[in-house]
Amino acid sequence: MTAYHELSHAIVGHFLEHSDPIHKISIISRGQALGHTISLPSEDTLLTTKPHLSDTMAMTLGGRTAEQIVFGELTTGASDDLEKVTATAGQMVTRFGMSEKLGPRVFGHNHAQPFLGRQRSTAPDYSPVIAREIDNEIRHMVDAAHERAEEILLEHRDALTTIAEILLDRETLSREQFESLLAGEDDRDAIEPVATPAQPGRRERLGAGEGRMVA
């Protein structure tokens, strides 16, 4: 299940125009994560677009979607993915003004008093009606990302099954190996084990050109 989960992140991300290129896929456990998929941007950037955020959400939901498609059940393995996607959609709606329905508005006032030992918090400045609209918009964005991930995985289900078996055997695939296998190339280099050590994950920061690790 871990092999399908991680590979699905990679396949969904590979076929989305605005997601970062896949760097490595691994089912070697690290800490609480049973595996990880690392994507890295092609170039440094200080801004993040709405299409990029939307594609990244779809990629992040790839693992959970594969559990439904392949195994017909859900596990707790996607809890971190769901947290990331919900947070991203929430920021798109309440901080970045990326909701077509609610428009270019910011909802919630940030109050930071670090010298008083208080944590940063957000105080509501909107009515219960607006709160429901925000929830609906977040749900809509997450559902749309899930549907895109599902469409891609169903279209490439044969490749998912084939490469998952190779990943299960080899444990780690580099970008070149993954793309070669996905293209159906009969290349022995594509199935040789990766000799390079695993790189540490990098913390995601919206708006920054950093790598992303999805567990």
Between residues 174 and 205, the one the model is more confident about: 174
In-domain check, residue 70: yes
Q: Which range is least confidently modeled, 32-36, 81-85, 175-179, 198-202? A: 198-202
pLDDT value, residue 93? 95
Instruction: Identify the active-site residue in 6, 67, 137, 150.
Output: 6
In-domain check, residue 9: yes
pTM here is 0.80
The structural domain count of the chain equals: 1
Contacts of 144 (CB under 8 A, 6+ apart): 54
Q: Which range is least confidently modeled, 54-58, 79-83, 188-192? A: 188-192
- Tell me how long the chain is: 215
Annotation says 165 is catalytic? no
Query: Tell me, what CATH number does 23's domain have?
Result: 1.20.58.760
In-domain check, residue 83: yes
In-domain check, residue 78: yes
> pLDDT tens, 136-151?
999 999 999 999 999 9
pLDDT value, residue 53? 97
In-domain check, residue 15: yes
In-domain check, residue 160: yes
In-domain check, residue 48: yes
In-domain check, residue 200: yes
